[in-house]
Structure 1
Amino acid sequence: MDRSGRFAALLTLAVCAAPGPAWAESDPRLTGLWKLVSYEVEVRADGSKAPVMGERPTGYAYFTPENRVFFVLTGEGRKPAETDAQRAALMGTLVSYSGTFRTEGDSWTAKLDVAWDPKWVGTEQTRMFTLDGERLRVLTPWRVMPNWADKGETRSIVTFVRGKD
């Protein structure tokens, strides 16, 4: 191999060996559609738990093979709004965001580029999860959630089943 061929081979090897992006390949355990089953919140101050989105919330999470996640979660019994106050109240029964994600063991971290609350855009949101067959249980860290900030620090316990649609 001549000198230019060796240089090209070394350059190719260097590029291939260079560290890749921080966002690794998608976790096949999560990939696909998940249908919301329940959304419960635990209050840190007193340990109380409540289904803040109602007994039958609706929504989906979708994890793509390209490491993008989409969440649209809505509370039970939402009605069309006719006034500004009603439109504002609907925000309390909505959680929606998207971003790229990476997994590490039984947690994922999503770097958000779209969110129902602009304060979340640009943040990293980490969630712990457990899988039991077709059921995905998600636990957030303790934080003040915009939708129920009056409760102080809370954590969400969100359950999904693998979507069939």
Structure 2
Amino acid sequence: MAQAPATSANTSPTDPASTALAGSWRLLSYDVEVKNTGEMFPPMGDRPTGYVMFAPEGRVWFVLTGEGREAGETDQEKARLLETVIAYTGRWRIEGDTWITAVDVAWNPAWVGTEQRRQFKLDGERLQVLTPWRVMPNWADKGETRSIITFERARETR
């Protein structure tokens, strides 16, 4: 995949990488890769749904939901729904091939006030996003993992 051009830390809406990312992207896949073994698995099922939207004014919205979600009725069922959603928003900027979000609202309060860094690659109408390698609490027994999230440019019609 071709990478977006490098840009400065103070990315403006007219920078090539920002212009290339601006708009809506529909989720195609969400996989996790295990560093030690190369194993890949879909933590939210084979058909998760989601979008990422990059506003040229500098705000990003990201939402990803797991396959087969159903409304919860009990408190426990409702709480379990949090295991199959990722959602946040904040100001975004580009540094080289990294998209950085200064999170100000999130499904997980621990993310608020943090900067989330994601390496990205653009290939035409496809956007691949990679999280840094780290030990995730959800599957700590696997060691270091990273998420590989693939989107395609959304072409909405009325």
TM-score bracket, shorter-length normalisation: 0.7 to 0.9
Q: Report the equivalent of 2:71.
A: 80
2:75 and 2:139 mapped to 1: Cα distance?
20
Contact persistence 1:23–1:101 (CA under 8 A): no
Q: Report the equivalent of 2:81.
A: 90
Q: Report the equivalent of 1:68.
A: 59
The CA deviation at 1:150 is 4.1
Instruction: Choose between structure 1 and 2 for higher RCO, CA contacts under 8 A separated by at least 6 residues.
Output: 2
Q: TM-score, normalization: structure 1?
A: 0.80
Equivalent residue letter for 1:87? K
Q: Report the equivalent of 2:11.
A: 24
Unaligned runs of 5+ in 2: 1-8
Is 1:129–2:86 an aligned residue pair? Answer: no
Q: Report the equivalent of 1:5.
A: none
Contact persistence 1:98–1:114 (CA under 8 A): yes
1:149 and 1:111 mapped to 2: Cα distance?
26
2:49 and 2:123 mapped to 1: Cα distance?
21
Unaligned runs of 5+ in 1: 1-21
Q: 1:118 to 1:45 in 2, by over 3 A?
A: farther
Equivalent residue letter for 1:25? S
1:40 and 1:118 mapped to 2: Cα distance?
24
Equivalent residue letter for 2:98? S
**Structure with larger Rg:** 1
Is 1:38–2:29 an aligned residue pair? Answer: yes
Contact persistence 1:23–1:67 (CA under 8 A): no
1:150 and 1:61 mapped to 2: Cα distance?
27
Which stretch shows the higher mean deviation, 113-122 or 42-51?
A: 42-51
2:135 and 2:60 mapped to 1: Cα distance?
22
After superposition, the C-alpha distances for 1:28-50 in whole angstroms (9 at most, x for unaligned) are 01000000010001123543210
* RMSD over equivalenced CA pairs, Å: 1.6
Equivalent residue letter for 2:118? R
SS across alignment from 1:86? helix
SS across alignment from 1:85? helix
Contact persistence 2:11–2:95 (CA under 8 A): no
**Greater fraction helix:** 1
